[in-house]
Structure 1
Amino acid sequence: MCGRFAVTLPPDAMAQLFSAVPGNDLPPVPNYNVCPTNQIHVVRSDDGQRRLGAMRWGFLPHWYKATNAGPLLINARAETIAEKPAFKAACRERRCLIPATGFYEWTKDEGGARLPWYIRPAGEGPLVFAGVWQDWERDGEAYRTCAIVTCGANAQMSAIHHRMPVILAPEDWGKWLGEEGRGAATLMAPAPEGALTFFRVGTEVNSNRASGAQLIEPLSP
């Protein structure tokens, strides 16, 4: 799964990277502790034009009568996304890109304590997660919401967690956004072995109120 991530790329650099028109509602960066229900940076395609805007991380199906009317859907499983009632229409019609600098996962020690790991690209550049989005409105509340698509972990990542975000290469961004015809389903696979690197970080990030660049600093040996 993916339950927390970091993003440090400035909005103007994101807009340039994705050839997208930036919105005026973008959340501040850097943010080293992006949490569910936060507003996050998302790229979608609108009539052939890519747009960089803000969305609530936590997909709200249209039948939810309130934001807390059901489970918090921050992830969508690649294996079932095309059939699940919450996601199947979005999978066909409303796919998006979610940029990140890295993300967190947790293991446990023998006493059950949660030990955070930070996962980032092995090379240069950001991570770009596959996502789906949905507009939701009820009783005067309106949100544009999204979820990160996840798949089974590759061998490298399975040492930490059995799931991982679907990470898209630049040549696949247009296909995922629906700009290049069919074939998006083929992209929902684990990242190649060696594409990511990871290391232990301090337990401060276990709190969703923690902030600052120190959250992604490797623990001293």
Structure 2
Amino acid sequence: MCGRFAVTLPNDAMAQLFAARPSNSLPFVPNFNVCPTNQVHVVRATNDGRSLDPLRWGFLPHWYKSETAGPLLINARAETLAEKPAFRTACRERRCLIVATGFYEWTKTETGDRLPWYIHRRDNAPIAFAGVWQNWGAEDVRQGTCAIVTTPANRHLSAIHHRMPLILDAGDWPLWLGEAGKGAARLMRPGPEGMLDYFRVDTAVNSNRASGSDLIERVAI
């Protein structure tokens, strides 16, 4: 699962990295505490090449009458992505990349305290989460929404959580976006053991109102 993440790459650098045309209304960066329902940076394939767009993190199926008409769908399980009514069409036709620098997970102590961990690529490269997207709402007020695809955690990450986001290397971006034909299903597997590392961070990030670069600073344990 992924319930909070950070993005620090400048918008122009994101556009260059993904060879995407940037929207004029991209979210502010850096943001060290991206929360569900926030606007996030999403790369999509279009007839005119890739675009870098702001989408609401929280997928809204077309049958929702309001944004709160059902569960908040911030994650989509890879194992059932092609079967669930909410996601199955998006799985075939509307896959995307969601840009991040790192993400957070929590463990619990015996007393129920939530201890946050910051997870990042060991090579410190930006992260491209696999995602799916959906336009929702009436024609005059339609908004783009998205969810992050998750897989079972690999052995290394399972020490702190049983799920992990599906993270794609640059060579896999064309296949996931549909630019390289069919076969994206083979990408839906846990990331390699050596890809990610993690460390404890301050409990300040437990609040969705927290901000600042200190949220991703290592704390002693």
Do they superpose with TM above 0.5?
yes
The amino acid across from 1:104 in the alignment is Y
Task: Please show how residues 36-75 of structure 1 align to structure 2 within 5 Å.
Answer: 36-75=36-75
Counterpart in the other structure of 1:27: 27
How much identity, in percent, do the aligned residues show?
68
Displacement of 1:125 in angstroms is: 1.2
Amino acid at match of 1:37: T
Q: Does 1:136 align with 2:133?
A: no
5+ long unaligned stretches in structure 2: none
Q: Match for 1:6: what amino acid? A: A
Q: Which residue of 2 aligns with 1:121?
A: 121
Q: 8 Å contact 2:8–2:101 — kept in the other structure?
A: yes
Which SS does the other structure have where 2:79 is aligned? Answer: coil
Give the match for residue 205 of structure 2. 205
Relative to the length of structure 1, the TM-score reads: 0.98
SS at 1:92's partner residue?
A: helix
**Quick one: which amino acid aligns to residue 45 of structure 2?**
S
1:138-161 deviation line (CA, Å, top 9, x unaligned):
496421000000000000000000
Work out the CA distance in 1 between the residues paired with 2:168 and 2:22: 21
Q: Summarize the alignment of residues 162-173 of structure 1 with structure 2, pairs less than 5 Å apart.
A: 162-173=162-173
* 2:180 is equivalent to residue 185 of structure 1: no
In the other structure, the counterpart of 1:18 is 18
Separation in 2 of the partners of 1:186 and 1:209?
38
Give the whole-Å Cα distance in 1 for the aligned partners of 2:133 and 2:183.
Answer: 19
* Cα distance in 2 between the residues matched to 1:135 and 1:117: 32
SS at the partner of 1:161?
A: coil
SS class of match (2:211): coil
In the alignment, structure 1 segments of 5+ residues that lack a partner are none
Q: 1:66 touches 1:138 (CA, 8 Å); kept in 2? A: no
8 A contact 2:5–2:102 mirrored in 1? yes
Contact 2:27-2:54 within 8 A present in 1 as well? yes
Q: CA RMSD in A?
A: 1.0
User: In structure 2, how many angstroms separate the alpha carbons of the residues matched to 1:104 and 1:51?
Assistant: 27
Q: Which runs of 4+ in 1 moved over 6 A?
A: none
SS at match of 2:17: helix
Structure 2 CA distance, aligned partners of 1:32 and 1:43?
20
